[in-house]
Amino acid sequence: MTMDTKMGNKYAVSSDERAEDCYYIFTEDFKHALGWMFVQKYFMKNQRAAVKEVTTITNYIINAVRKLLQDNKWLGETSKRKSLEKIQQLVKIIGFNAKTMTAQNVNEFFQGMRITANNFFRNIIQIKSKSLKLSLTELREKPNRKGDDGDGIFSVNAWYDSEMNSITIPAGILRNPFFNIRSPMSLNFGGLGTILGHELMHAFDNDGTLYNAQGEYSPWLTTSAKASFERLSKELINQYSHFKIPGTSLHINGQLTLDENIADNGGIHVAYNAFLKWKSSQNVHYMLPGLPLSSDQLFFLTFAQNWCAHFSTIALRNQLRHDPHAPDMARVLLTLRNSKEFAAAYRCQSGSYMNPARKYQVW
């Protein structure tokens, strides 16, 4: 038996696993070309209108975060000033950077490489080598806060970066079911807006409070503010840790999921307040035909729809053990149980399951 055969028998992976590995390697290392191709095929037609509307949603949510911080009772003046500086200097990256995401820049990145269809390993080595050289040239430069490298353009995701104090909303998520330029804004705020609210609140979770407005490591909570933050966090940890996943005997690790739970609860709050502010400026409020729900109810329904999913018990156990996110059903149920605005919109009876007397939030 040859060495190749022995190694293959011992370390072989299924074709499905190999295909998945190749996919992730390919989408990471060819992100410049794939990002440009995605934008050209799926985003350019409605790009200007989509970016304009998403910018509007984002700005309303940023203003809602600003008001949340201004009205906060436990931050104190010093911490409040630092928190407001973060939201004031936040960098927004929406869709893609049109100045750098061009065919010319993509071609320049691959210049000098010999990319072929039958040598995957050599292709990757060439790209890794080029990426390393580019990284080394940037060592003495200021950090890039504009998202110029094509990273994640086609990702169905959004993210906040503490070290850049930036929020990225890539082109990939600006589609159904999260956003549609023809949908009522109740759906766009409830879908994409709650995700943006979630990401913005990461600027003020355990990690976010360690970085200042320029993305530098500089913890800005005073001793008093930190004590209040930790007290409220412990209450949220306790609530999530005592929640039993419906249909199982499984519980959430409230400590492991704390930062994501802070972002979920604060995010829906600022997104809803942003929606109310936007709605107050409009004369017409569109409803969905055949669905007797108010725009406020549609907002919360769309938020819940974001997290529709089905898990096997094995997958659920694995997630509870390792994932910093709570299971999807908990992200819906606990976030809405903590929302007095949800209870008002759906007229939930006081003391009922979805409207408990005690509600928990850090922000």
Active site includes 28? no
Look up tokens 């169905």; give the residue.
Answer: 156
Residues 161, 199, 205, 260: which is the catalytic one?
199
Cβ atoms of 170 and 95 within 8 Å: the answer is yes
CA–CA distance, 173 with 188 (Å, rounded to integer): 12
Torsion of CA 350, 353, 358, 363, to 10 degrees: -110
Look up tokens 């630092």; give the residue.
Answer: 82
CA–CA distance, 313 with 243 (Å, rounded to integer): 16
Residues 149, 161, 264, 296: which is the catalytic one?
264
User: Residue 59: how many CB atoms within 10 A of its CB?
Assistant: 13
Q: Which residues of 271-288 are buried (b: 16+ CB within 10 A; e: fewer)?
A: bbbbbbebbeeeeeeeee
Q: If you ran DSSP here, which 8-state letter would residue 202 be given?
A: G
Tell me the sheet residues that pair with 95.
Answer: 170
Look up tokens 């400026």; give the residue.
Answer: 281
Active site includes 20? no
Task: Provide the annotated active-site residues.
Answer: 199, 264
